Chains A and B, each alone.
Chain A
Amino acid sequence: MNFTVNCINPGAHRLWDYRNRMPEESAGIPLAEILRAANELVSSGLIKDYALGGALAAMRYVEPFATYDADIFFIPITEDISAGIHDIYEALRAHGCEVEGDHLLLKNFPVQFLAAHGLTEEAVQNADTIEYQGVRAKLFRPEYIIAIAANVRRAKDLARIQLLLEQAEIDKNLLESILNRHKLSLPEDENGNAPATRS
C-alpha cells in the first residue's frame, strides 16, 4: 500500500513538543553529526544524494531563529523508497539515531529524512556545497528554499519567504525560472504587489 507521504517518519512533522526533547545540559543543534550521518548514507550507497533544507538551511542566509527539527532531503537509490528504508534506519541507528515512535532523534534533536521528488529533487541536485565544522555538506540554495515555501504556503513558509527576500542575496533570474517551471508564484503583499527583494 502506498500512502501519499514523502517522509520516512511521517509523524515527525508537526505538533510534537520538541521543546521538551532538548537535552538539559545543552540545547545545541547537533548539525555536524546530522550532516555526518547523511554523508555516511551516501558513501555507503543507501541514498544517491542529499541536502539540508528547511529552517536550518534558510538560516545560512538570514538571521538566526529557533527551530525544532532538521530536514534532510534525500534522493533514493530506487524509485520505490520503501525498499531501502529499513537499511537507512539501521544505518542511522548505528550512527546514534534513536527511533522513538515516529521520530528520529540524533542527540535528542529531531531529524526528518524526506524523500526528494520534483522541486525538492531539483533543489538537492542544485544545492550548494558547504563545510560545517569540518564536515562537507550540501545545503539548499535560497532560491529553492523560497520556491519550496511558495509551494507549501503555511504561515511559517510565508514568513520564511519574506525573511529571505529581505535578508538574503537572491539570484532573481534563477528564482523566476524555478517559479515558472514549477508553476508557482510568490505571495503578494497586502497591497497586491509582488514582494520586494533586497536591493
Chain B
Amino acid sequence: MKMEMRQRLARESFEEKIHKAGQLIHLAKEFPRQPTCVATESAAAAKEKTIIYAIRNRKLLEFSYNSRTRIVEPQSYGLSKKTNQLLMRGYQRAGGSVSGYTRGLRLFDVAKISSLRQTGERFAKAQPAHNPNDSAMSKVILSLPLSHNS
C-alpha cells in the first residue's frame, strides 16, 4: 500500500511534485527543532567556513585534535571514501600527535576537530606531496592547487 502510494506520487506531474516539495520545505521550516541540533549545525557550519577560508587564503589553522593542539597548513577538504564524513588533509607543522610524529601530511576527521581558529599566519604553497584528487576522499570539496601552479 505504502509502495503503491509512493509510486502514485512519483507519477504525478513535475509541477505538482515541485509544489509538494515546496510544502515539505515549509513543513520542515515550521517543524519544531531541537535546540541542540541547531547549536551542532551552527558549530559545524562555522568550522566548515573557517577551513574553506583558510584553504582559499592559505592561512594556518590551530585546533585541538585527540586532546593535542596542532598547527596545520590545510591542503584539501572533502568527504571520506570510507565513512562519507568530512575530512581535512593538512600538513601538520607543529603541535602534539598520538603517533609521536609531529610533522607531516595527515588526515583529520573534521567532527573531531575542536577549538578551531586561524593563527593569522599564511603559508606559501601546497606541500610537494599534495594531491588535489585526494585518494582518501570520494569528493574533494576544495583543494589547494599544486605548488608549481601557485
Contact = CB atoms under 8 A, between A and B. Distances in A.
Chain B contact residues: over half helix, strand or loop, or mixed?
A: helix
Interface stretch (B14-22, B88-96, B115-123): B14-22
Interface residues of A, number: 40
Chain A contact residues: over half helix, strand or loop, or mixed?
A: loop
Residue among A14, A28, A56, A66 having the largest count of chain B Cβ atoms under 10 Å: A66
Interface residues of B, number: 46
B8 to A, nearest CB: 9
A59 B14 contact: yes
A29 B25 contact: yes
B24 A20 contact: no
B136 interface: no
Contacts of B141: 5, 10, 13-14
B52 A27 contact: no
Nearest to B46: A15
A67 to B, nearest CB: 6
Interface string B1-45: 000001101101011111111111111110000000010011011
Interface of B: 6-7, 9-10, 12, 14-29, 38, 41-42, 44-45, 48-49, 52, 55-56, 76, 79, 84, 132-133, 138-145, 149-150
